[in-house]
Amino acid sequence: MSFRRTAIALAALTLLIGTTACASGGAPTNATQQTGAGTEIRPSPARTLRIGVRAEPQTLSDKPLRTGGLAVSTTTRLFNAGLDLLDDHSVAQPYLAEALPRLNTDTWRVFPDGRMETVYHLKPNLFWHDGTPLTADDFAFSWRVYATPDLGSSGAPPLTYMEEVAAPDARTLVFRWRQTYPLAGTVARGSGSSLPPLPRHGLEGSFQEGQWDAFLAQPHWTREFTGLGPYQLDRWEPGVSLEGVAYAGHVLGRAKIERIQVSFFSDANTALANLLAGSIDMAADNSLSFDQGIAVKREWAPYNGGTLILTPNNWRAVYVQLRDEMVKPRALQDVRVRKALAHALDRESMGELVFEGEGRVADIFLSPGASYAQAIDRAIVKYGYDPRRSEQLMAEVGYAKGVDGQYVRAGEGKFTFELKTNAQAQNEKERSIMAAAWRQAGYEVEEAGLPASLGQDGQARATYPGLYSFSTPLGEAAFDNFTSVFIPRPENRWTGNNRGAWSNPDYDRLMQTFNSTLSAEQRVEQMLQLTRMVTEDLPAISLFYDQGPTPHVAALRGPGPVAAETTGKVAWNVQTWELE
């Protein structure tokens, strides 16, 4: 191994050893029992599935009105149902709707003036968890709520393209669009595009102009949540866990597992110990690091204790802060500095250390398996490991290496920046490796972790001074994350994933065209232009396709690998799971 790789490896060694030790020898082992035939897994309590997740959700709503930050897709899937559902291959299936709109039929019409109309018919005999019938008026009310500018969601697709959502009768729902929109046929797809129904009977009375804080404080969003999903909320103990019971009126049938308990573990080692001790049956929503997932797999292998599902469905990147009032040092606003930082990273070596050979370097946020992937790959600007080019770019900006090998610029001192990640073992390992690589290249790096208590605080996640590494879902919807409308601000309650506040008018204009183009060929050409803009100006330094580990015990049957956009990720078909 080269000196460079050795240095990077040493930076990760402490975290790696600590995690592995916890997984292989430090955790209790009463999840198993010894028999004459060998070691067997001890069955879970009858009919109760126990899931550990990384964070307590701020709300159980499928479309939060407060910025969530951390993904809680497993938890929200348990209690929600929408018009459609994306299956394990990200193919849209009717859910509450009888069928999905089809272009150039009576269910999806394009008018001469460019406007559109899509029509859904609800399945019969649909009921909220409290027994109230679901009607099309619940969707119309939902549109009124999410289209309210003061609540922060109205500027994002598809709401920004919707003119009206009408309910001509109890089972008919009409979406009227201001323009053509290619994702109009499935509201489950796209960035923030779901329009979940809201219980009008429970919320309309508190939905009043200027009383938004009171509306958001309604118990519906948390401890008294009323949904339509496979499970009905039974109890919620703040900071500890929540529980759901199988809902007999679920449109796809009553869940086979009668009861589910979701426990909150802000510390990954605690989640790991509970999994190996048999206190939980599954660790979901990135509650474990990749290393810990691999450690569990190895622990279980000798006695077939369970299965590890790895889901490469996120794009891992380092977003650069570009706001004038926050960025430090200001040199980060110079694209040459951002490119120099990118060329200073050996992502292949990093990936070997972070993912133990299971990872894959990413150059852009689109799925490598998409039909247009090869064309995109040829169009984007790539930043391979090139220390010489990195040094040349820094010299162009006026930085030179001092006697200690660190970059300095006359009158300013050393080039110093903060590198932040969420405070989780996997992220801390990645941060340590990345910081070591940049220090070796001549940059002074200050490492910082965002506490778990602030992991769902939109303002805390957007107001970093330097670089912030985080994950976003793969797919076409990620294009929206670089538009100006997705910049978190006080005016939109700090919602949006454009946390570095990159703004490019040409990109915004092309995105408006992209979001109104129905032709698949034209959309691919537009994607080529959009990805070129992002990779040329480099508001985010691309790292890897993130590997999300979801281990579960052998007694649980049903979970499996899923595609990037699948509704609820691994839990998309939770109502079919069985627990032996």
Helix, strand, coil % (nearest 5) of the chain? 35, 25, 45
With beta carbons less than 8 A apart as the criterion, state whether 139 and 112 touch.
Answer: no
Q: What are the distances in angstroms from CA 408 to CA 344, 405, 416, 465?
A: 16, 9, 9, 19
State the sign of the Cα–Cα–Cα–Cα dihedral 491, 494, 500, 504.
negative
For residue range 176-200, list pLDDT tens digits in order.
Answer: 999 999 989 888 775 445 789 999 9
- Which pLDDT score is estimated for 24? 34
- Which pLDDT score is estimated for 243? 97
410: Cα separation from own chain's centroid: 42
φ, ψ at 302 (rounded to 5°): -60, -30
Q: Which residues pair with 286 in a beta bridge?
A: none
Q: Which residues pair with 446 in a beta bridge?
A: 418
Q: What is the CATH number of domain 42-54+222-309+549-579?
A: 3.40.190.10
- Which pLDDT score is estimated for 17? 35
Nearest CA-CA partner of 132 in 253, 226, 236: 226
For residue range 352-402, list pLDDT tens digits in order.
Answer: 888 776 678 999 999 887 788 899 999 999 999 999 999 999 999 999 999
Instruction: Give mean pLDDT, residues 481-496.
Output: 91
Neighbours of 321 (CB within 10 A): 26
- Which pLDDT score is estimated for 50? 98
Query: Widest CA span of the chain, in angstroms?
Result: 77
- Which pLDDT score is estimated for 570? 93
CATH of 81-219, one of 3.90.1150.170, 3.90.76.10, 3.20.20.70, 3.30.930.10: 3.90.76.10
Neighbours of 490 (CB within 10 A): 8
Place of tokens 């006080």: 490
Q: Where are the domains of the chain?
A: 42-54+222-309+549-579, 81-219, 313-547
- Which pLDDT score is estimated for 426? 74
With beta carbons less than 8 A apart as the criterion, state whether 350 and 360 touch.
Answer: no
Q: Is 341 helix (H, G, I), strand (E, B) or coil?
A: helix
Q: Is 357 left (phi over 0), alpha (psi -120 to 50) or beta?
A: left
Q: What are the distances in angstroms from CA 574 to CA 3, 41, 568?
A: 48, 22, 9
- Rounded Cα gap, residues 301 and 307, in angstroms: 9
Task: Choose from 86-90, 145-149, 246-250 the range with maximum mean pLDDT.
Answer: 246-250
Q: Are 81-219 and 313-547 in the same CATH fold?
A: no
Q: Write the DSSP symbol of residue 140.
A: H
φ, ψ at 126 (rounded to 5°): -100, 135
**Which superfamily does 313-547 belong to?**
Dipeptide-binding Protein; Domain 3 (3.10.105.10)
For residue range 288-310, list pLDDT tens digits in order.
Answer: 988 899 999 999 999 999 999 98
Nearest CA-CA partner of 194 in 175, 178, 167, 180: 175
Report the alpha-carbon angle 536-539-544, nearest 5: 90
- Rounded Cα gap, residues 152 and 244, in angstroms: 29
- Which pLDDT score is estimated for 474? 83
With beta carbons less than 8 A apart as the criterion, state whether 306 and 553 touch.
Answer: yes
- Which pLDDT score is estimated for 355? 79
pTM of the model: 0.72
For residue range 521-548, list pLDDT tens digits in order.
Answer: 999 999 999 999 999 999 999 999 887 8
Residue 145: pLDDT over 90: yes
Per DSSP (E only), the strands in 438-555 are 444-450, 467-473, 540-553
Confidence band (pLDDT; 50, 70, 90) for 204?
A: very high
Contacts of 357 (CB under 8 A, 6+ apart): none
